[in-house]
Structure 1
Amino acid sequence: MAKKKTTKSKAETVDFSKYVRWFWMLFAGGVLAVVLLFLFASWGLLGEMPDHTRLENPETNLATEIISSDGVTLGKFYFDDNRTPVGYDDLPKHLVDALVATEDIRFYDHSGIDGRGTLRAIFKLGSGGGASTISQQLAKQLFTDQVSQNKFERALQKVREWIIAIRLERQYTKEEIITQYFNIYDFNNHADGIRSASRIYFGKEPRDLDIKESAMLVGMFKNSSLYNPRPHKNPVGTKNRRNVVLAQMHKYGYITEEVKDSLQATELDLNYTPESHREGIATYFREYLRAFMKDWANEEANRKPDGSKYDLYSDGLKVFVTIDSRMQKYAEEAIALHMPRLQAEFDHQNTPDRNPTAPFLELSKSEVNNLLKAGMRRGERWRILKEQGKSDKEIEASFHKPVEMTVFKWTDGKPSEVDTVMKPIDSMRYYKSFLRPGMMSMDPSNGHVKAWVGGMNYKHFKYDMVKQGKRQVGSTFKPFVYATAIDQLQVSPCDSFPRTPITIEANKFGNPEPWTTKNSDGNYSGKQTLKDALASSTNTITARLMNEIGPQPVVEMAKKLGVEQDILPVPAIALGTPDISVYEMVAAYSTFANKGVYNTPVMVTRIEDKNGTVLYQVAPESKDVLSEEVAYVTVNLMEGVTQAGSGRRLRHKGFDKWNAVYKEIITGYPYELTNPIAGKTGTTQNQSDGWFMGMVPNLVTGVWVGAEDRAAHFKSISYGQGASMALPIWGLYMKACYADKTLNVSKDEFEKPSELSINIDCTAKDEGDLIDESESSEDNEIEIDFD
């Protein structure tokens, strides 16, 4: 019996050794298969793998960045990726610590693959957490396609990620890998990369993030769609995820327990600042810049080394502009403060009860209907429906069917949006009831544009009233007439002229009919000096100057001052009949402040590629237009406007009997400006346009206010004049600029030429007797036949 047992044991031993051989064969085969799998993957047989060049220069779309003169990002141009990379030095230490503590605590010890983490994931089947290192996650972001839902394909994808991660570790330092990962990640809401994310969610640069803000952003790496902090998304889940990150930071010794507990108790404290093309600061300027950049990119001389065009939306250009972010902010705030108050008064005066054709005046119902029909054909809705093959009758009918829409509204003095249901034809009338602003500010010494506000809300009012819009300029044109007279006739601000009516005969200067002017105050007695006449906008004296010099020299002067469009050389231009843009007017007035030298406005100083190579550098353009003496005398004349004319309210410390009528729209506007200011108000017929052009030695600013259609305007001059519509914006803006001492806006006298042959020292008068600032004293409120 014992012998048989021995024989059986030997047989069993032989059989076991066979299994052992099979095991080792299978094990070796498995190892070989894994090796071959990695080899095939590295050779690109399992999917495209990046070569050495792509590893050095990963393909990522980079937004074009617009950088202000004071180093602030005004906005970006991008299609899908709003990405602007930052360097490792721009990342605060606690941001990096939060990432390592949460995503890859052994990041500094491995070479791309965390062996311990991988084994843990395998044995626990992923229940103990994933094993992807930061390097692997970067590889997935940069070089692999979207994660596959197929387990086999995902496994192959994982192999590729491992290989790429190892290559990245060989190619880059740990700091560079972390920086790339922060720069590549999509945090949602156009927040591509850490710089966009910190600006959009917290309104600050990455270097300025605090610990809890860093923790929230790192928490979003798990799933930025799920952990989205915006109120209508998942703020509670985002906060919980942030607290997990803070707990991880405490677990690994990056923060104390006290810090963790105190931060976990706080709210997210977002400062959501979207970076879209229609929102943010300087939107109208950015739209102008977009066109500028497209024209620049289309020029043959500005091509890439390979001959292709630069892509404004993906090549990571840096555009350095002259806009000062502080001054731009003050300009937009001045408009946001004044316009809702002015609009409230306009709406009060133009209710359907008071005005059946509101917001239009002097139009019949049939004329209003014709105006709206013309507006239909110019609108985007008409264009889109026409492209869809709709007939004119069908399109017109669609304007009378209620639809859901979002409209602009001033709410409690602030811009807002309201969801409503409205007929498109009614929305057209609604938008035509809004008064709109245009404003530009420029340094006269070099032409650098410092602020540009083309309207009050780009999303709803896209037409730019700085450069696109051209409106009648009223009495702001008069300094061109005065400057021409000073240049040609050497007249002095102290020279006196009669206020009596003057008729310029038919056929003189090509005028087809006799032209007689009227004074807005109805006063034709006595004489006035030129300085008093400009301050009070005495039309008859301006007409006398025109009678002496003729309209052609004035037209030539306007052209030399940068006015682009054709001006008909007729005497009536003396009172401001030409249509001119705010852009042109500011550049023209800057010539007076710049001692007679015209500088072409400059908006872009240089353009760099993503590597910092300069692609464009501005070449300033200037020309002599006037002698220094003529320019100074013209400025001296315009100083009278703020000393004793319609601009005198800039000096007020409070309210008096003169401005009590305007209290409702200028409450809180005691400007109290005491420094030298030269300027000119302007108001066109029927109060359709209100202007103020104001200058100090190193800053010239122009403001226009009016409605889209000239038939929408204030009925009375009390509110409709430039001194009420436009001047308050200038005053609020300048007051803010002066309060900011870092801007160094001048309060000095305008520099007097060393040699001055024209007398400017007029016999002193009591300023209170120079002009009665009643509603009838402003500009050219007269009947003019513009046909």
Structure 2
Amino acid sequence: MAVKKNNNQTRNIEKDTTYYKKKFWKIFFYGLGAIGLFFLFASWGLLGSMPSFEDLENPDSNLATEIISSDGVVLGKYFEKNRSQLKYSDLPKNLVQALVATEDARFYEHSGVDGRGTLRAIASLGTSGGASTLTQQLAKQLFHGEGSKFLPFRIVQKVKEWIIAIRLERQYTKNEIIAMYCNVYDFGNNSVGVSSAAKTYFSKEPKDLSIDESAILVGMFKNSGLYNPVRNPEGVKNRRNVVLLQMEKQNIITEDQKVKLQSLPITLHFKLETHKEGTATYFREYLRDYLKKWAEENKKPDGSDYDVYKDGLKIYTTIDSRMQLHAEEAVAAHMANLQEEFFIQSKGNKNAPFVNISTKETQRILNQAMKSSHRWEVMKSLDKSDEEIIKSFNEKTKMTVFSWKGERDTIMTPMDSIRYYKHFLQSGLMAMEPQTGNIKAWVGGINYKYFQYDHVGQGARQVGSTFKPFVYATAIEQLNMSPCDSIIDSPFTIPVGRHHVTESWTPKNSDNRYRGMVTLKRALANSINTVSAKLMDKVGPEAVVELTHKLGVKSDIPVQPSIALGAVEITVEDMVAAYSTFANQGVYTKPQFLNRIEDKSGTVIYEPIPESHDVLNKDIAFAVIKLLEGVTEGGSGDRLRTTYGGSGDNRWTGYPYQFKNPIAGKTGTTQNQSDGWFMGMVPNLVTGVWVGCEDRSARFKSITYGQGATAALPVWAYFMKLCYADPGLKVSKEDFNRPPNLSIKVDCYSAPRRVKDTTDIQQDTEEFEL
């Protein structure tokens, strides 16, 4: 009986074992099937949206648009997120090695999911790390963000992450995946991607990063908020050293290199990329307005709109980054000195910075500025009454203000800050190749962060005697005159009714002298007002206005004789284009600031067509050039040739420029020295400079510092000195191109240049009087 019982027990055990085996395998296969279905449903998007094949080809990476100079330098960007696209070949090798060694040592061995790492993570319940590969991290960044902490959702997201990672591995090479990963990571401080991070934290291009700098950025991939080198340098140093340790373990660097690199301090060259700072800020803003209009008129192939801030466009400009930096340096260097003198001369003037206006008029100017301010606009939007707003403008508050010695923290009323900023002299400079119309440098003001008004393309100011060459050109063309023809410098009156004059007009020379018979060349060199008026009387203002418009000047010009002395408002951009016509043998070429626009794939989507037309024949254009050369040989621009050092009241107005090469130019000063101009030309570069305050009544008291020869000419000279010291720019020192068989006499006898004393300097002007 005992044996039978044992046999039954054995059979029962075997039966139970068979049952449980079947149940186990059933559960196993059902579970396996469920997991398979889970993955399948996830891949179909039933558990939430999944990227399509097209999405993988073109992930929405919200790329910044880059503005690129003619010499290949990124001048700035337009962006919502500061993200730039890099190719794998643009990444430094040490950064790629550090990234793989630290984040995914088996990156080149797996196909998107690291099986060993995943099993290890499951076995340790995540305590040994999450086992996310670089490809999985990229999938998370591109398509579903940081994920949820709720376990069921986290499991779903993890599965989707695996699926996307495998698809990425099938679609892209390993190198492309690394490049994409480096392009999408947010490094903080408005820097998305390695390209932006390298410029923000180290002021470098990625290819120039050192090993320890690359290690800092790779360390930030773990958590850029925690390991931010600006806020947490000690934590960043520790994290960098971990990266260096991993590089040593992977035999990328030696132990000696690791020890040496780990001992280095965290050294940053932090510079936050913003729209209001950096290189060519005024030009970039001018370009931004142009691109907005361009985007409205041009569509993508699919009919959608271009987005300048997200589409990763490449804007290739004509600006030369080297010349742009030289121009900005020249403006800053001279304007800082000029501003110091302006503050000195404003002392004791209770109405400063305004001269010869009433207290009532001063208050009107300040009130107008108050009502145009951003502060007024904001307070109005908060439904504040005018009385409340005005009261706030007279209450002292902490603020940071601009100065040439750096930003300054102070306490003053907003109204006092308005008056303070009214003191500042502004400047506009533009340089252009006359043969191509390519704009090479554009400086619209002294500091875009504090002064947004663009004095190159936006602000038209009275041009003074820089208008006179247009009168002389008209006379040479219509009257067949030459620079060597003579005309009498004597008192002259245009009577009522002639040339639309409503009352008689008698222009005076600035020094109240009359020189008798003078050549046109000498008359323009010394900016003799009576000669300009006589030439205007001979040709009529209609002819001068017509020629000026042909030269590209878009301003409305009154048809009256007084325009002969420059009572006309014109932008620096138009003045440079007009003068360039003379240097380009009479052919006007419209200023060009764009070479082409490419989309993020490198496809050219826009190329502007250059515009030009004939204005003058070559002989007349060259005759005007010879007239303008006379200005720098013996007239108001001859300080470009001399070595006077300055002393006494002229303590910093020395001009040790000593240019030897041919220069055609013209100074200009307007009524009460409110505007100072200098237009300077060499054969392949025409540059215009304007200097003045925002308000015409804010100015120097005397002509010594307010005239164009003192206020604007030194900026041009400094700029050209820097350009000539930079041989890669190839700025010409040669003669202007002389037309063959020249029919106009241009080689006139001229007396030796006189040596000027300080008295002459004060009289070296071309101020007009109406």
TM-score range, shorter chain: over 0.9
SS of residue matched to 1:749? coil
Tell me the amino acid that sits aligned with residue 616 of structure 2: L
Match of 1:367 in 2: 361
1:771 Cα deviation (Å)?
10
Equivalence for 1:350: 346
Partner of residue 631 from structure 1, selected from 606, 621, 635: 621
Does residue 613 in structure 1 map to residue 607 in structure 2? Answer: no
Per-residue Cα deviation, 1:228-281 (whole angstroms, up to 9, x for no partner): 122xx1222222212211111111101111222222222333232332211111
Partner of 2:195: 195
Q: CA deviation at 1:89?
A: 1.5
Selected match of 2:508 from 501, 506, 518? 518
Matched, 1:437 2:427: yes
Q: Aligned residue for 1:660?
A: 647
1:113-512 correspondence to structure 2 within 5 Å: 113-230=113-230, 233-299=231-297, 302-351=298-347, 354-411=348-405, 416-512=406-502
Q: Which is further off, 191-200 or 475-484?
A: 191-200
Partner of 1:50: 51
RMSD over equivalenced CA pairs, Å: 2.3
Call closer, same or farther: CA 1:222–1:662 in 2, change over 3 Å: farther
Classify the secondary structure of the residue corresponding to 1:774: helix
User: Quick one: distance in 2 between partners of 1:197 and 1:5?
Assistant: 80
Equivalent AA in structure 1 for residue 745 of structure 2: N
Write the letter of the residue equivalent to 1:61. Answer: N
Deviation at 1:627, TM superposition (A): 1.4
AA aligned to 1:779 is: T
Q: Could you tell me how far apart the structure 1 residues matched to 2:745 and 2:630 are?
A: 15
Deviation readout 1:633-652 (Å, 9 max, x if unpaired): 11111111111122122223
Name the amino acid aligned to 1:115: G
Matched residues in 1 for 2:288 and 2:649: separation? 40
Q: Structure 1 residues 719, 187: CA separation in 2 closer, same or farther (over 3 Å shift)?
A: same
The offset of 1:653, in angstroms, is 3.9
Match of 1:71 in 2: 72
Change (3 A) 1:225 1:123: same
Cα deviation code 1:653-692 (max 9, x no counterpart): 452xxx435754346x522211100101111111111111
1:592–1:632 contact (8 Å) kept in structure 2: yes
Shift of 1:577: 0.8
Amino acid at match of 1:126: G
- Give the whole-Å Cα distance in 2 for the aligned partners of 1:727 and 1:236: 51
CA pair 731-597 structure 1, distance change in 2 beyond 3 A:
same
Query: Are residues 653 and 151 of structure 1, via their aligned partners in 2, closer, same or farther at CA, if it must alter by over 3 Å?
Result: farther
1:517-536 to 2 correspondence within 5 Å? 517-536=507-526
Contact 1:536 1:771 in 2 (8 A): no
**Displacement of 1:3 after TM fit?**
8.6
Identity of aligned residues (%): 58
Which residue does 2:97 correspond to in 1? 97
Rounded Cα–Cα distance in structure 2 between residues aligned with 1:654 and 1:504: 40
Q: Is the 8 A contact 2:565 2:768 kept in 1?
A: no
Of 494-503 and 688-697, the range deviating more from structure 2: 494-503
Most deviating of 463-472 and 520-529: 520-529
In structure 2, what residue type is equivalent to 1:699? L
Query: What is the letter of the counterpart of residue 160 of structure 2?
Result: R
Distance in 1 (alpha carbons) for counterparts of 2:151 and 2:397:
47
Q: Is the 8 A contact 1:46 1:156 kept in 2?
A: yes
More displaced, 699-708 or 752-761?
A: 752-761
Alpha-carbon spacing, 1:203–1:662, altered in 2? closer, same or farther (3 Å): farther
Q: 1:263 to 1:683 in 2, by over 3 A?
A: same
Which blocks of at least 5 consecutive residues in structure 1 are unaligned?
none
Q: Bigger shift: 532-541 or 594-603? A: 532-541
Structure-2 separation of matches of 1:78 and 1:542 = 51
Residues 521-550 of structure 1: CA deviation (Å, up to 9, x unaligned) = 222243322222212212122222222222
Structure 1 Cα separation of the partners of residues 523 and 249 of structure 2: 79
Instruction: Decide whether the 8 Å contact of 1:538 with 1:779 is kept in 2.
Output: no
Whole-Å separation in 2 of the counterparts to 1:130 and 1:552: 81
Q: Deviations over 1:445-503 (max 9, x none)?
A: 01111100101111110010001101111111111111111111222222333332211
Structure 2 residue aligned with 1:743? 729
Residue of structure 1 equivalent to 2:579 = 589
CA drift at 1:777: 2.8
The answer to whether the 8 Å contact 1:555/1:569 transfers is yes
Maintained 8 Å contact 2:566/2:768: no
* Alpha-carbon distance in 1 for matches of 2:473, 2:731: 26
Asked if the contact 1:407–1:418 (Cα under 8 Å) also holds between the matched residues in 2, the reply is yes
Deviation at 1:12, TM superposition (A): 10
C-alpha distance in 2, partners of 1:358/1:58? 58
Counterpart CA distance in 1 for 2:759 and 2:517 is 18
How far apart are the structure 1 equivalents of 2:442 and 2:106? 51
Find the counterpart in structure 1 of residue 633 from structure 2: 643
Residue in 2 aligned with 1:781?
A: 767
Q: Over residues 116-160 of structure 1, what are the superposed CA-to-partner deviations in whole Å (9 max), with x where a residue is unaligned?
A: 212222222333233000010011011113322323322221111
Paired amino acid for 1:439: L
Amino acid at match of 1:236: E
User: How many residues end up aligned between the 2 structures?
Assistant: 769
Q: Contact (CA 8 Å) 2:669, 2:768: kept in 1 or not?
A: no
In structure 2, relative to structure 1, the CA distance for the partners of 1:715 and 1:106 (3 Å cut) is same
Q: C-alpha deviations, 1:764-787, integer Å up to 9, x for none?
A: 312117999724433333543xxx
Q: Residues 30 and 723 (structure 1 numbering): CA distance in 2 closer, same or farther, change over 3 Å?
A: same
- Looking at structure 2, the residues matched to 320 and 545 of structure 1 have their Cα atoms a distance apart, in angstroms, of 44
State the one-letter code of the partner of 1:427: S
**What residue number does 1:61 align with?**
62
Give the direction of change, closer, same or farther, for the CA distance of 1:202–1:94 in structure 2 (3 Å limit): same
- C-alpha change, 1:126 and 1:773, in structure 2 (3 Å) is farther
Q: Alignment partner of 2:595: what SS?
A: strand
How far did residue 19 of structure 1 move? 6.5
Contact in 2 for aligned 1:247/1:260 (Cα 8 Å) = yes
Structure 1 residues 143-188: Cα deviation after superposition (integer angstroms, max 9, x where no partner) = 1133223233222211111111111112221111111111111112
* Matched position secondary structure for 2:677: strand
TM-score by length of 1: 0.93
User: SS state of the match for residue 58, structure 1?
Assistant: coil
- Determine the structure 1 residue equivalent to 2:719: 733
For residues 672 and 429 of structure 1, the distance between their equivalents in structure 2, rounded to whole angstroms, comes to 39
